[in-house]
């Protein structure tokens, strides 16, 4: 697999590109997969090998890798007005139209949108907005941010501090004032003889305790993904958001839904907060926002936060924040098309149709003696590998079981993602039923092969 000759793509990739989020020993042994192009849900490497990408890139290439309408939207906008910012009261017509569209399709009656280049920056921006508005309202001490263990909110210093993953300790993060509540994963974190309802109540009680301990008047807001994506597709325990939201409301703490993965169709509705039936104060969007065709993030503020932030900004005559490419005209033109493709051109319907097939396929694979649970919603799911199904005992981490399953899948031309001891699937919304069969057949073979080696 790994071509070691000096001019091979594998060696050139490692020689000049600094890898992030990459298992270095494994990629050096196997060689990087250097890609040239894509077609529908397939990607192709420099050797002409074909891979079915069951993760839609990083959850985001929901319309596949060659969508003609999205390519045309980009080309037309590049020809018309290829770049601009949104500072000093100058911004593109596409930016104005996208803001109107995002407010229209948001769950909010009214609102405003702020643009970034990524989901991380959107979370950073949101935190700065909260710090800014509390300070303007005379409560500058309200700076703490609540998130959960296992949450993923990004990699900038602030969004990495929001992220609840131990690997950030190598950077000396989290920063002070970022508090991580228990991950609401009933299957793994529920105590013996605790019902799901009791578990949810325990999560709510913990939130009450944390607020009492820290002081509500020191907390700026809480940010949560409807389903934790990079945490391993953790679907919250039943009634979780209904239990925590009234507590936050009582203490005047805004709840922000990080919909970078869940937004625009992944959970079967436009928004994850719709699927899980709660009304956030703001939404963080990225990834599907442009169907992965342009790097872009957005903070969509609901009406109350809009009013408060507008007042705070008006008082000092500006909100001193923005990126060079905030509201980039090409990104906005692509996003307008992507929203149309997902919501009006049948992709959302395809998600609904494929979900039944997807979930049946996951349930079937979960019959394997070494799969402890399958979990998911809409077109996102995870299979959790266990050494012992009855006791839920995980495999010895040194066996790298999920990485081996992902590698065994890649060998057969299927891309899926190891996360902890789970294998995660988030197929593009354009998949056909045959492609879904191909995905499950290949993954089934990979599971059989690896479990036969390690179990
Ligand atoms: N929030 C969530 C829920 C995410 O899944 C991600 C990326 N996986 C981010 C934020 C960060 O987005 P980006 O990688 O674009 O910075």
Ligand 1 center–CA 74 separation, angstroms:
23
Query: Residue 182's pLDDT is what?
Result: 98
Asked whether 262 lines ligand 1 (CB < 6 A), one says no
In angstroms, what is the span from residue 119 Cα to ligand 1's centroid? Answer: 5
Q: What was the pLDDT predicted at 313?
A: 97
> Which residues 6+ apart lie within 8 Å of 417 measured at CB?
55, 406, 423, 424, 425, 426
Q: Which atom of ligand 1 is nearest to the CA of 117?
A: 15
Q: Which two tokens stand for residue 385?
A: 């590998």
Phi and psi at residue 256, to the nearest 5°: -115, 130
Asked if residues 283 and 257 have their Cβ atoms less than 8 Å apart, the reply is: yes
State the residue for tokens 């509201």. Answer: 327
Q: Which residues contact 385 (CB under 8 A, 6 or more apart)?
A: 370, 371, 372, 394, 395, 401, 402, 405, 421, 422, 423, 451
Helix axes 196-214, 240-250, angle to 10 degrees: 20
Return d(Cα 226, Cα 261) in angstroms, integer.
9
Nearest of 42, 66, 67, 37 to residue 53 by alpha carbon: 42
* CA-based nearest residue to 374, from 355, 388, 361: 361
Q: At a CB cut-off of 8 Å and minimum separation 6, what does 394 contact?
A: 385, 386, 387, 421
Scanning 106-175, the segments in alpha helix (DSSP H) are 119-136, 157-162
- pLDDT of residue 328 exceeding 90: yes
pLDDT exceeds cutoff 90 at 3: no
Q: Given ligand 1 and candidates 60, 116, 119, which is best to mutate, with the most ligand atoms within 8 Å of its CB?
A: 119
Task: Tell whether the torsion through CA atoms of 223, 227, 231 and 234 is positive or negative.
Answer: positive
pLDDT, residue 1, reads 57
Residue 378 CB–ligand 1 contact under 6 Å: no
Q: Is the CB of 41 under 6 A from ligand 1?
A: no
Among candidates 131, 150, 100, which has minimal Cα distance to 254? 131
Q: Is the CB of 257 under 6 A from ligand 1?
A: no
In order, the DSSP letters of 168-182 are GGGGT-SPTTEEEEP
Round the average pLDDT of the chain to a whole number and report it: 97
Ligand 1 pocket, residue 10 CB under 6 Å: no
User: Which atom of ligand 1 is found nearest the CA of 262?
Assistant: 3
Domains of the chain: 33-66+346-454 (3.90.1150.10), 70-344 (3.40.640.10)
Q: Residue 100 — pLDDT band, cuts 50, 70, 90?
A: very high
**Residue 223 CB–ligand 1 contact under 6 Å:** no
**Ligand 1 atom at minimum distance from 119 CA:** 12
Instruction: Return the residue matching tokens 């993904």.
Output: 225
Residues 137-187 pLDDT 10s: 999 999 999 999 999 999 999 999 999 999 999 999 999 999 999 999 999
Residue 45's pLDDT is: 97
Whether 119 lines ligand 1, by a CB cut-off of 6 Å, is: yes
Over pLDDT 70: what percentage of the chain? 100
ipTM entry: 0.99
Cα(55) to centroid(ligand 1), Å:
14
**120-134, 207-221, 342-356 — which is least confidently predicted?**
342-356
pLDDT tens track for 408-432: 999 999 999 999 999 999 999 999 9
* pTM > 0.95: yes or no: yes
User: 260 CB under 6 A from ligand 1?
Assistant: yes
Out of 286, 288, 291, mutate this one to test ligand 1's pocket (max ligand atoms within 8 Å of CB): namely 286
Q: Report the C-alpha gap between 199 and 255 in whole angstroms.
A: 21
pLDDT-based confidence at residue 6 (cuts at 50, 70, 90): confident
Percent of the chain at pLDDT > 90 equals: 96
Closest atom of ligand 1 relative to the 297 alpha carbon = 15
3-class DSSP state of 124: helix
Ligand 1 neighbour 154 (Cβ under 6 A): yes
Is the CB of residue 153 below 6 angstroms from any atom belonging to ligand 1? Answer: yes
Compute CA distances 347 → 62, 264, 270, 343, whole Å: 9, 10, 11, 7
Q: Whose CA is nearest to atom 10 of ligand 1?
A: 153
- What digits encode the pLDDT tens for the residues 365-402? 999 999 999 999 999 999 999 999 999 999 999 999 99
pLDDT of residue 362: 98
Mean pLDDT of the region 219-246: 98
pLDDT at 2 over 80: no
Q: Indicate the pLDDT class of residue 5, thresholds 50, 70 and 90.
A: confident
Provide the pLDDT confidence category of residue 346 given band limits of 50, 70 and 90: confident
Best CA proximity match to 290, nearest among 41, 44, 71, 39: 71
CA of 163 from ligand 1 middle (Å) equals: 10
């Amino acid at each position: 697999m790994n071509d070691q000759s000096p001019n091979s793509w594998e060696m050139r990739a490692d020689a000049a590109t600094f890898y992030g989020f990459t298992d270095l020993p494994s990629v050096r042994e196997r060689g990087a997969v250097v890609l040239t192009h894509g077609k529908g849900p397939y990607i192709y490497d420099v050797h002409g090998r074909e891979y079915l990408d069951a993760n839609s890139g990083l959850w985001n290439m929901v319309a596949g890798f060659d969508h003609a309408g999205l390519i045309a939207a980009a080309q037309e906008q590049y020809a018309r007005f290829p770049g601009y910012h949104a500072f000093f009261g100058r911004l593109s017509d596409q930016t104005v139209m996208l803001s109107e569209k995002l407010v229209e399709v948001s769950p909010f009656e009214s609102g405003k949108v702020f643009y970034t280049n990524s989901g991380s920056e959107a979370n950073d921006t949101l935190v700065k907005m909260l710090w800014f508005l509390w300070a303007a309202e005379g409560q500058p001490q309200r700076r703490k941010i609540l998130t959960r263990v296992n949450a993923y909110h990004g990699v900038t210093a602030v969004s990495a501090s929001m992220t609840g993953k131990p690997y950030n300790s190598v950077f000396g993060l989290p920063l002070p004032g970022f508090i991580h509540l228990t991950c609401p994963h009933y299957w793994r974190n529920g105590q013996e003889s605790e019902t799901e309802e009791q578990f949810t109540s325990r999560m709510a009680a913990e939130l009450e305790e944390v607020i009492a301990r820290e002081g509500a008047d020191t907390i700026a807001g809480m940010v949560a993904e409807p389903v934790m994506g990079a945490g391993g597709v953790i679907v919250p325990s039943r009634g979780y958001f209904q239990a925590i939201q009234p507590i936050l409301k009582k203490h005047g703490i805004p709840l922000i839904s990080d919909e970078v993965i869940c937004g625009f169709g992944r959970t079967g509705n436009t928004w994850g907060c719709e699927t899980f039936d709660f009304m956030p104060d703001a939404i963080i969007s990225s990834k599907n926002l442009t169907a992965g065709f342009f790097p872009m993030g957005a903070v969509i503020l609901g009406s109350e936060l809009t009013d408060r932030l507008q007042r705070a900004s008006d008082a000092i005559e500006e909100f001193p924040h923005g990126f060079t490419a905030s509201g980039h005209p090409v990104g906005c033109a692509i996003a307008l098309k992507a929203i149309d493709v997902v919501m009006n051109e049948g992709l959302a319907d395809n998600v609904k149709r494929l979900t039944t097939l997807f979930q049946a396929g996951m349930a079937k694979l979960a019959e394997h003696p070494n799969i402890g649970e399958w979990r998911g919603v809409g077109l996102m799911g995870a299979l959790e590998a266990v050494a012992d199904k009855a006791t839920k005992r995980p495999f010895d981490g040194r066996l790298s079981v999920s990485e081996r399953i992902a590698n065994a899948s890649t060998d057969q031309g299927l891309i899926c993602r190891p996360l902890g001891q789970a294998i995660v699937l988030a197929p593009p919304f354009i998949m056909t039923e045959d492609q879904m069969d191909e995905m499950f057949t290949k993954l089934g073979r990979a599971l059989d092969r690896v479990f036969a080696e390690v179990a």
